[in-house]
Amino acid sequence: MARKVPRRDDLEDTVAIVVGTRPGIIKMSPLIEEAERRGYDHFVIHAGQHYSYELDEAFFDDLGLEPPAYRLDEVEETQFHGEQTAAMLAGIEAALLEEQPRAVLVCGDANFNLAGALAARKLGMVVGHVEAGLRSNDWQMPEEHNRVMIDHISDYLFSPTEEAAANAREDNVRGEIVVTGNTIVDAVQTHIDIAKTDSTILDDLGIDAGDYFVLTAHREENVDDEAVLSDVLETIAELADEYDRPIVFPIHPRTTKMLEEHGLYERATGIEQLRLIEPLGYLDFLKLLANCSLVLTDSGGIQEEACILQVPCVTLRENTERPETVDVGANVVAGTDPADVLSAVESMCDVETDWSNPIGDGTAAEQVVSTISSTPATWEE
C-alpha cells in the first residue's frame, strides 16, 4: 500500500480541533476561544455526525464561533455505527493530510471522536482526548466502547476529575493523564449570564421560573426500542399526573424519528402538561435549565450542567459515567421504571441545592491549550 503518512518533522505547528455533534461543539467552544485568545494556530474540522441546523449551525451562531475550516458531508446518509465512523475517519484523515497539524484534539465519546482520534493516531500526530477516563462500565453502550478505545490511543488524556483519571490509570493507558476539569464548566460560566439576560424562552413558552420540569431523552437504549420508549412515555405520564406542572421536552431528532417510527408520537402529544418543543439553541436551553425546578434526562452534558447550575437532576438511565454529580447529591440515577423515577423525583424536589461543583473550575480550556501548545513538535512514541 502507498504510504501517505507525513514525515514527523514536516508536521505544522498547529492543532486540529475536531467537532461533530451538538455537545461536541459546546464542549470544544472554550478551547477554540482559548486558542484564539493566545493566538495559537488552530483550525476546526466538523465531522458532520450532526448536520441539522438545530443540532449544528445553531451552536456556531449562539457560541459566536467561526464556521469550521472543514465540514464533512454525506455522513448523514450512513445508518450503522461502523459505517458512520468509517465515513468520518476517511473525511477527517483527508483534512489532516492536507493540513498536517502536529496535534489533534477530540472531546467526548460520540463516534466522531473515535474517528478523529484514530485518523490522527494513524498519521502519527499527537492525540489529545478531552473528557478522558469517564466510564459507565456498561459495555452495551456505543459511547463506552468509544471512550475506552480513544483513551487507549491518546497521547494526552485530559480528565475532568481525579475519579476519571483513576479510571484511565486502572485501564493502563499509555498516554499522559492531566486532570483539568470539564470544559462544560468553562462554557456554562461564559454563557449563563448572557443566557439569563438575552433569552426570552420562558415568556415564549408562557411558563414561570421554578414551576416546571425539563425533560430530555435521546439515548439509543431509551428511544430505539418500542417497548422501552413506550415505558418511558408512561413514566412521564405518571409524573405529569402526580405533579401537574409543565414538563418541557426539547426533543432530539433521533427521538422524534423513533416516536414516529413506533407510532408513539400521538401518545406523547396526548400527555397533558408535556410540552414537546424543537431542540433549543444553547442560550435558550441554559436559561430553561437554570430556571426549572428539576431536570429529567439521559444526557451526559445535561447531568453536568444541572450540577453546575444547582438544579436537581434525575437521570433516566441505569448508570452514569458522571458519578461525581451523584456523590455531591446533585443527581439520582433512577432508570426508567415509573416507581423508581417518581421516588427519585420526590427526593430531589426537596433537596438542598447547595452542593459544590465537582467537575471543574472553569480553567479546563486554558490547561488543555497550554499543555497541547507546549508539546514537542515531533512526538516520540
CB atoms under 10 Å from CB of 82, counted, come to 10
How far apart are alpha carbons 299 and 181 in whole angstroms? 18
**Binding flag, residue 22, ligand UDP (CB under 6 A):** yes
State the DSSP code for 276: E
Inter-residue contact 105 to 372 (CB < 8 Å): yes
**Binding flag, residue 72, ligand UD1 (CB under 6 A):** no
Considering CB under 6 A, how many residues would be counted as binding ligand UDP? 16
Minimum distance, C-beta of residue 110 to ligand UDP, in the bound complex (Å): 6
**Binding flag, residue 50, ligand UD1 (CB under 6 A):** yes
How far apart are alpha carbons 94 and 130 in whole angstroms? 22
The nearer residue to ligand UD1, 38 or 257, going by C-beta atoms, is 257
Considering CB under 6 A, how many residues would be counted as binding ligand UD1? 18
Owner of C-alpha cell 413506550:
230
Query: Among ligand UD1, ligand UDP, none, what does residue 285 contact (CB within 5–8 Å per kind)?
Result: ligand UDP
The nearer residue to ligand UDP, 11 or 32, going by C-beta atoms, is 32
Active site residue 50: no
**Residue 144: all three cell numbers together:** 463506552
Q: Which of residues 261-280 bind ligand UDP (CB under 6 A)?
A: 279-280
CB atoms under 10 Å from CB of 213, counted, come to 25
Minimum distance, C-beta of residue 13 to ligand UD1, in the bound complex (Å): 31
**Binding flag, residue 320, ligand UD1 (CB under 6 A):** no
Give just the sign of the alpha carbon dihedral 297, 301, 303, 307: negative
3-state secondary structure of 376: coil
In which order are the strands placed within the sheet that holds 176-179? 70-71, 42-46, 12-19, 101-107, 126-130, 156-159, 176-179
The nearer residue to ligand UDP, 102 or 275, going by C-beta atoms, is 275
- The residue annotated as part of the active site, out of 42, 46, 218, 262, is 218
Q: Out of 253, 329, 335, 338, which residue is the one contacting ligand UD1 (CB under 6 A)?
A: 253
Query: Among ligand UD1, ligand UDP, none, what does residue 6 contact (CB within 5–8 Å per kind)?
Result: none
Q: Out of 271, 302, 309, 369, which residue is the one contacting ligand UDP (CB under 6 A)?
A: 302
Locate the DSSP E strands across the chain.
Answer: 12-19, 42-46, 70-71, 101-107, 126-130, 156-159, 176-179, 213-216, 247-250, 274-277, 294-297, 313-315, 331-333
CB atoms under 10 Å from CB of 77, counted, come to 9
Minimum distance, C-beta of residue 133 to ligand UD1, in the bound complex (Å): 16
Q: Out of 16, 21, 47, 240, which residue is the one contacting ligand UD1 (CB under 6 A)?
A: 21
**Residue 373: all three cell numbers together:** 501548545
Stretch of 20-28, 99-107, 283-291, 361-369 contacting ligand UD1, by CB under 6 A: 20-28
State the DSSP code for 317: S
**Binding flag, residue 22, ligand UD1 (CB under 6 A):** yes
Give just the sign of the alpha carbon dihedral 166, 168, 173, 174: negative
Minimum distance, C-beta of residue 287 to ligand UD1, in the bound complex (Å): 19
Stretch of 104-112, 157-165, 171-179, 338-346 contacting ligand UD1, by CB under 6 A: 104-112
Query: Among ligand UDP, ligand UD1, none, what does residue 111 contact (CB within 5–8 Å per kind)?
Result: ligand UD1
Minimum distance, C-beta of residue 15 to ligand UDP, in the bound complex (Å): 23
How far apart are alpha carbons 26 and 195 in whole angstroms? 14
Positions touching ligand UDP (CB under 6 A) are 22-23, 26, 216, 218, 250, 252, 279-280, 282, 285, 299-302, 305
Residues that bind ligand UD1 (CB under 6 A): 21-23, 49-52, 55-56, 109-111, 142-143, 218, 253-254, 257
Residues that are catalytic: 218
